[in-house]
Amino acid sequence: MITTSEDVARHAGVSRATVSQILNGRGQRFAEATRDRVNRAARELGYEPSSAGRTLARGSSDFVIALIPHTTFGATLQDFFSRMTDELAAHGLTLVLRLSTPSTASLGRVIASMKPAAVFSLTRFTDEERALIGDRGVTGLDPSATNFFDYNHAIGLLQGRTLIAHGHRRLAFAHLADARQDPFGADREDGLREACREAGLPDPGSVGLDVTPDDAERALDELGGTGFAVACYNDDVATALLSAATRRGWQVPEDLALIGMDHTTLGRLTLPPLTTIDYDLEIAAEAAIHGILTITGHADTAERPERHARLRVIAGGSI
């Protein structure tokens, strides 16, 4: 049931070497009739080269490992990876997803055994991870390698500027308490801090919370009363704070202003609806894809997508 290049060769009446070359782009050297015969045979037999054989012969596989952050994997991220999967597949690369676990041992084993063409992560590699990848002779791609998809600073900055433009002057950033869930938090808070500096405001405060009624209330206490404008790690955090504030009888945005991030569907359902930031993953995906194709030597054109992050403020009623 499994078709090998040998089968294709026999079926086309040529040698295996011929098949291999024709199917791998080195086909100019052959007569057009032969090319056609081979291509047709491959198609008719449903031939799909064995990844293992190919890997062995070439020294590295066609797999690209994407580390997926331990954060909610909503529709946006799904589309992102879905897009990447298709685009890379068009270049013969197979995207494979791995949950990024705290223990790097498992990642090390996978990299060593898989010999991926590249390792990709939306979050910055830890030093451990970087070492692991480098040691195996694999190239990694993370936001630090290119600024194309490091929008997190820009996100915090935009949140800050938006709040400030609305006249808010006491700013704070709300993280997710669980650090694993908060992979982009530090960068975003950085951005917020920069916005404060620009406006001559003191550095923003910082709280961390779980998305639960109780912990949101605690976070409100930690913040220290009303009058704050909070840039939230994401819409879930904003929703939790909004809910706690409402229960407490605070008016949003008068007593507490909130700006979220992600433009989630649930964020549109609150009262007031959240003001939030929309993040164009389309462009980020393009950048990531281009980066990977470059690394793996598949980049067809030298042109690189120069467009920058397209962040949009989605007006709600929470600031």
Handedness of CA 212, 221, 235, 233 (dihedral sign): negative
Closer residue to a copy of itself, CB minimum distance, 94 or 294: 94
- In the complex with DNA, the residue whose CB is nearer, 52 or 302, is 52
Would you count residue 5 as binding DNA (CB under 7 A)? yes
Q: CA nearest 121: which of 113, 130, 112?
A: 130
CA-nearest of 171, 231, 166, 226 to 201 is 171
- Closer residue to DNA in complex, CB, 32/306: 32
Give which of DNA, a copy of itself, none residue 20 binds (C-beta under 5 to 8 Å, depending on kind): DNA
x/- mask, DNA, residues 17-56, rule CB under 7 A, reads xx-xx-xx-x--xxx-xx------------x-xx-xxx-x
For residues 189 and 175, is the Cβ–Cβ distance under 8 A?
yes
C-alpha pair distances (Å), 261 with each of 101, 146, 154 = 24, 22, 12
For 306, the token pair is 């120069």
To the nearest whole angstrom, how small is the minimum distance from the Cβ of residue 157 to a copy of itself? 27
Kindly determine how many residues on this chain lie close enough to bind a copy of itself according to the rule CB under 8 A. 63
Q: Which long-range contacts (CB under 8 A, 24 or more apart) does 239-242 make?
A: 239/211, 239/266, 239/267, 239/270, 239/274, 240/209, 240/210, 240/211, 240/212, 240/213, 240/215, 240/216, 241/174, 241/209, 241/216, 242/270, 242/274, 242/318
Whichever of 42 and 216 has its CB closer to DNA, that residue is 42
Residue 136 interacting with DNA (CB under 7 A): no
Among DNA, a copy of itself, none, the one that 165 touches (CB under a kind-dependent 5 to 8 A) is none
Among 34, 73, 250, 255, binds a copy of itself (CB under 8 A): 73
Q: How far, in Å, CA of 303 to CA of 171, rounded?
A: 41
- Provide the binding-site residues for a copy of itself, judged by CB under 8 A: 1-2, 46, 48-56, 61-62, 68, 70, 72-75, 77-78, 81-82, 85-86, 89, 94, 96-99, 101, 106, 108-110, 112-115, 135-137, 181, 210-213, 216, 236, 239-240, 243, 246-247, 265-266, 268-271, 273
- Provide the binding-site residues for DNA, judged by CB under 7 A: 2, 4-6, 14-18, 20-21, 23-24, 26, 29-31, 33-34, 47, 49-50, 52-54, 56-59
